[in-house]
Amino acid sequence: MDIPFLNLKDINARHADELKAAAARVIDSGWYILGQEVAAFEREFADYCGVRHAIGVGNGLDALSLILRGYKALGALHDGDEVIVPANTFIASFLAITESGLVPVPVEPDPVSFNIDPIRVAAAIGPRTRAIMAVHLYGQLADMAALTELAERHQLLLIEDAAQSHGAASHERKAGAWGHAAGFSFFPAKNLGALGDGGAVVTNDSLLAARVTALRNYGSEVKYQHLYQGINSRLDELQAALLRVKLKYLDEDIAKRRHVARRYREGISHPLIHLPAVADEARHVWHLFVVRCAQREALQRHLQAHGVHSQVHYPTPPHRQAAYPALHELHLPLTEQLHDEVLSLPIGPTLRDEDVQRVIAACQTFEAAA
Ligand SMILES: *Cc1c(COP(=O)(O)O)cnc(C)c1O
């Protein structure tokens, strides 16, 4: 039996009875959009993150876009303003910026943590810079102490793309509680995954929270009165009810991911496979376990031959995507090298010990191509 990269069926099967009861509750209620379940989930998720407000939206990309739109509406951002963003992030971080009429300024990562390098961020700050979008890549917080200091010194907005880092923390402060606002995704494969699309904006900024709450719902606070040109991007009652079940188990799931990561880090010892560096083991939530290998394709084929599925996050950096011809001339050597070398091993809360052992054994028998 092959070891899948992530077994969503197993993950949700553990809570099938509770999930079905939650779904039945919504079906029977007759109320499907912006009701009690969304309100309750927003309260519970805000408490979990340690922030005042959470606003349920349609997906993670919309969460980020709504933060930027919200700050534009509040006068803190203007068309053409620059937003510093990690060069090696998922495309959504870039799309949120460009979709909002802002300009992404990609910055290379720290080669050890893969997260945005504050020294390079400082060097990229110019007269048009108005915001930093930090991405907590793979489940580990970016260096938020350094980024907070930079943002304060230069009066920049600090926004977190927390789509991979539900529950991750640094200095006891969780992802989402560091910046002016943060966007989360509940895409099924995320650490807190719905059974469909979903997302949330979290913030301590009451003005932003009110604006995003209106913008996600046609720019309306009172039915049929439209204060702003909003969009339709709402977390629905069904997903909210399912997420309320899954939120209860998030910390347990994170502990299981940490256990898998610990075993990989103890068990894989190979001159060609570079293990991920960890700033604070107890705070990393291991959305992905990403190794680096100069012979990535050969390693992936070798693992596949041993029944181990792996994935690449991501094969092409945003500045090299067809969607962004204007960015093609950028030269970001570290990011380009990372995209050639990264490989994500299976990790998740239902991965069995014997499967972890098989992944380790498969890695250990990898032989360099001549
Ligand atoms: C998944 C992800 C998103 C987007 O979330 P969706 O819900 O799929 O829109 C944004 N940023 C990062 C870093 C992600 O991993």
Would you kindly state where each structural domain of the chain is located, as residue ranges?
Answer: 8-107+115-247, 250-364
CB 161 less than 6 A from any atom of ligand 1: yes
Give the C-alpha separation, 356 to 29, whole Å: 43
Ligand 1 pocket residue status of 113, Cβ below 6 Å:
no
pLDDT category, 331, cuts 50, 70, 90?
very high
> In this predicted structure, what is the pLDDT of residue 204?
98
The answer, yes or no, to whether residue 282 has pLDDT greater than 80, is: no
State how beta strands 220-222 and 173-174 pair.
unpaired
Q: How far is CA 258 from CA 79, 118, 218, in A?
A: 42, 26, 41
- pLDDT of residue 281 exceeding 80, the answer is no
Q: According to the model, what pLDDT value does residue 170 have? A: 78
Positions of E strands within the chain: 53-57, 82-86, 103-107, 129-135, 157-161, 169-170, 173-174, 181-185, 199-203, 220-222, 225-226, 289-292, 342-345
- Identify the pLDDT of residue 41: 98
CA–centroid distance, 344 to ligand 1, in Å, is: 17
Quote the pLDDT of residue 280: 76
Residue nearest to ligand 1 atom 2, measured at CA: 163
Spacing, Cα 162 to ligand 1 middle (Å) = 8
Q: What is the mean pLDDT of residues 176-201?
A: 98
Q: What is the mean pLDDT of the chain?
A: 96
pTM of the complete model beyond 0.95: yes
Contacts of 11 (CB under 8 A, 6+ apart): 193, 348, 349, 350
- Write down the pLDDT at residue 171: 78
pLDDT tens digits, one per residue of 117-154: 999 999 999 999 999 999 999 999 999 999 999 999 99
> According to CATH, what is the number of the domain 250-364?
3.90.1150.10
Q: Give the pLDDT of residue 279.
A: 77
Asked if residue 330 has pLDDT above 80, the reply is yes
Q: What is the mean pLDDT of residues 221-231?
A: 93
**Which pLDDT band, with edges at 50, 70 and 90, does 50 fall under?**
very high
- In one-letter notation, the amino acid at residue 163 is A
Average pLDDT in the 210-223 region?
Answer: 96
Q: Report yes or no: 162 and 184 within 8 Å, Cβ to Cβ.
A: yes
Torsion of CA 353, 359, 363, 369, to 10 degrees: 170
List the residue whose alpha carbon is closest to atom 1 of ligand 1.
163
- Percent of the chain with pLDDT strictly greater than 70: 100
Average pLDDT over residues 319-329: 97
Is there an atom of ligand 1 within 6 Å of 115 CB?
A: no
235 pLDDT above the threshold of 90: yes
Q: Is the CB of 185 under 6 A from ligand 1?
A: yes
* Residue among 6, 59, 61, 195 whose CB has most ligand 1 atoms within 8 A, to mutate: 61
Residue nearest (by alpha carbon) to ligand 1 atom 7: 60
- The predicted structure's pLDDT at residue 218: 97
Q: Locate the ligand 1 atom nearest the alpha carbon of residue 96 and give its number.
A: 10
pLDDT at 113: 87
Q: Residue 103 contacts by C-beta under 8 Å, 6 or more apart in sequence?
A: 80, 81, 82, 83, 97, 128
- Residue 278 pLDDT exceeds 90: no
Report the separation in Å between the CA atom of 92 and the middle of ligand 1, taken as the mean of its atom positions.
6
Ligand 1 close to Cβ of residue 162 (< 6 A): no
> Which residue bears the tokens 């209620």?
29
Mutation pick for ligand 1 pocket among 83, 160, 161 (CB with most ligand atoms within 8 Å)? 161
As a whole number of angstroms, the distance between CA 160 and CA 152 comes to: 15
Ligand 1 centre and the CA of 164: distance in Å?
7
Find the 270 Cα to ligand 1 centroid distance in Å: 32
Question: 185 CA distance to ligand 1 centroid (A)?
Answer: 6
Residue 370: per-residue pLDDT? 65
Is 98 in contact with 77 (CB distance < 8 Å)? no
Taking residues 348-366, report their average pLDDT: 98
Report pLDDT for 112.
83
| Least confident span in 40-54, 168-182, 341-355 | 168-182
* Cα three-residue angle 190-344-165, rounded to 5 degrees: 30
The closest of 10, 23, 14 to 237, measured between CA atoms, is 23
Question: Has residue 327 got a pLDDT over 80?
Answer: yes
The average pLDDT across 287-296 equals: 97
The answer to whether 135 and 93 are in contact (CB under 8 A) is: yes
Q: What is the fold, at CATH topology level, of the domain defined by 8-107+115-247?
A: Aspartate Aminotransferase; domain 2 (3.40.640)
Can you tell me the distance from the alpha carbon of 294 to that of 289, in angstroms, rounded to the nearest whole number? 17
The burial of 367, by beta-carbon neighbours within 10 Å (0-12 exposed, 13-18 middle, 19 or more buried), is given as exposed
| Residues 297 and 315: beta-carbon distance below 8 Å | no
